[in-house]
Amino acid sequence: MKDISDLISLLGGTGAIARKLGINPSAISNWKKQNKIPKTKYEAISKLSLDLNINIEEYLFPNDYKGSKFSILLIICGGIASYKSLEIIRLIKKNNIELDVVMTKSAQKFLTPLLVTSLNEKKCYTDLFSIEDEANMNHITLARKADIILVAPATANIMGKFANGIADDLASTILLATFSTVFLAPSMNPVMWENLATQENYHKLLDRGIKFIEPESGDMACGEFGTGRLPEPKHIIDEIVNNLNYKKKIQKQFNNVSVVITAGPTIENIDPVRFISNKSSGKQGYAIASELSNRGADVTVISGPVDIPPPKCNKLIKITSAQEMYDKTISILPADIVICSAAVADWRLIPEINNNHSLNTKHKIKKSNHNLRFTTLKNPDILETISKSKRRPKLIVGFSAETENIIENAKSKLISKKLDLILANDVSQNKVFGKDTNKVYVLTNNNCEEWSEQSKKSVASNLANKINEMFFS
Ligand code: CTP
């Protein structure tokens, strides 16, 4: 985030500003330390900034500024409809939204980077391996800076690459490296759109929470009739602006609210090479963490071992066993909200041989140990301990992983663990663990809602709405 020190160096540094304003340099050093400029000096600093075309509001009120100023990255792919992206650029600029543009190689067969650069009054990016561009604004910055990435027109090719994790140019690399909301506005020949491969990619992306501005039906430039036409730019921009307005509304929803989330599985070692665990991927817990962070919460995630990218959060603490998850979670309380989405192993296994003699588990247990048996040692219940503790957070959310009697079992966990809210799902036959979608029942003490199957990101967003209602009521 931009701060006062950045502003001071842009204006020429401590000495230069002190001279121009006729004040002691130590005063300016204090501004830097406190990250604050006294109100009486706003006007003078504003005058200095005007000459250099610097918007001091960005530095004086970084949080408010973020709230009012949005940025979009437009990726233009190659197709007959590429020309419509010029109007999209014009409308984005008209809405006063900051814009960067990336063009694929095929897009440059229809439009030139010079044309796009002139229209956007800013360099347009085309090359993943450009030394000059990487020095200026590298592809990761491009991927992370924007609030929304809009791909318009989105070809069957970019959808295929995105759905299958191919990153062989600037546009496809950005799509894999972003945390931002991604909108695709597909445009292609109707037979290509209906093709099973395109449809599979479309559904794969939808399940991952990617948003689509659906193609329209009508006469196509290629002379055929069907679905595949890029919607009018105004329609595309209306959807984007609605989304930005929604983001603006929710981005401070949980300011100053601390949230602790447990996620993923735990692993209980038996000996140095063997363990018991479960197939939890951590995707649902991580999606909730990112969603609440995007809404301004101060989020700490305590996560078991997972293979997915880290969520957006203030702190990510990695643990292995249930006991470690318990210790870490308890140690960071108090918090305003606790969400236990982890699939915690309920037991540790203690190997024994004849006459209840426990084995030394420092080394691999050998097959030669006849009559090997295991006794169980129960792990502490993190959720239950927190909810019954003196430092109980205002709101506690649990999950209920069931293979039968889903609602009844979840209800009894809600009551016995004294929770405010529980999300129950059917984890039989690998229906949830590792998947990108989830089907949940959401129970409170006096209500049970059935949510349709949806992406885990979408469950996270709906859960954040629910938590907002309950926490602030
Ligand atoms: N949980 C926990 N610590 C444990 C076990 C469970 O915090 N040692 C939390 C989970 O994160 C989840 C809720 O308790 O939010 C329910 O977990 P689940 O595995 O569905 O049920 P259990 O309580 O373990 O009961 P059972 O295995 O008998 O269904």
Residue-wise pLDDT tens digits, 118-146: 999 999 999 888 777 766 667 888 888 89
Q: How many CB atoms lie within 10 A of CB 432?
A: 23
CATH 3.40.50.1950 in the chain, residues?
Answer: 71-250
- Evaluate if residue 260 carries a pLDDT over 80: yes
- The encoded tokens of residue 420 equal 């405010």
pTM beyond 0.85: no
Look at ligand 1, atom 3, and give the residue with the nearest C-alpha: 381
Residue-wise pLDDT tens digits, 69-97: 789 999 999 999 999 999 999 999 998 89
Ligand 1 mean position to 239 CA, how many Å? 40
Task: Select the CATH number that applies to the domain covering 258-471 from these four: 3.10.20.30, 1.10.150.650, 2.60.40.10, 3.40.50.10300.
Answer: 3.40.50.10300
Residue-wise pLDDT tens digits, 213-225: 999 998 877 788 8
CATH 1.10.260 in the chain, residues?
Answer: 4-60
- Evaluate if residue 99 carries a pLDDT over 80: yes
Residue-level pLDDT at 274: 96
Non-local (6+) Cβ contacts of 81 within 8 A are 153, 187, 221, 229, 230
- Asked whether 396 lines ligand 1 (CB < 6 A), one says no
SS3 call for 217: strand
Between β-strands 454-455 and 437-438, what pairing exists: parallel, antiparallel or unpaired?
A: antiparallel
Quickly state the pLDDT bin for 65 (edges 50, 70, 90): very low
Ligand 1 mean position to 389 CA, how many Å? 17
- Evaluate if residue 42 carries a pLDDT over 90: no
- Asked whether 229 lines ligand 1 (CB < 6 A), one says no
Count Cβ neighbours within 10 Å for each residue of 236-275 and write b for 16 or more, e otherwise.
bbebbbebbeebeebbebbeebbbbbbbbbbbbebbeeeb
Cis ω for the linkage preceding 153 (within 30 of 0):
yes
Quickly state the pLDDT bin for 66 (edges 50, 70, 90): very low
- Asked whether 340 lines ligand 1 (CB < 6 A), one says yes
Of 3-12, 13-22, 301-310, 454-463, least confident by mean pLDDT is 3-12
Mean pLDDT of the region 402-430:
94
Chain-centroid distance of CA 245 in Å reads 18
Task: Select the CATH number that applies to the domain covering 71-250 from these four: 3.40.710.10, 3.40.50.1950, 3.20.20.150, 1.10.10.10.
Answer: 3.40.50.1950
Mean pLDDT of the region 220-238:
90
- CATH architecture of the domain with residue range 4-60: Orthogonal Bundle (1.10)
Chain-centroid distance of CA 108 in Å reads 31
Testing ligand 1's pocket by substitution, the residue of 302, 408, 413 carrying the most ligand atoms inside 8 A of its CB is 413
Testing ligand 1's pocket by substitution, the residue of 381, 409, 428 carrying the most ligand atoms inside 8 A of its CB is 381
The single residue of 77, 124, 222, 340 carrying the catalytic annotation is 222
Residue-wise pLDDT tens digits, 291-333: 999 899 999 999 999 998 898 899 999 999 999 999 999 999 9
- The encoded tokens of residue 383 equal 């959720």
Q: What is the mean pLDDT of the chain?
A: 91
Helix (H) or strand (E) holding 410: helix 406-416
Quickly state the pLDDT bin for 174 (edges 50, 70, 90): very high
Quickly state the pLDDT bin for 9 (edges 50, 70, 90): confident
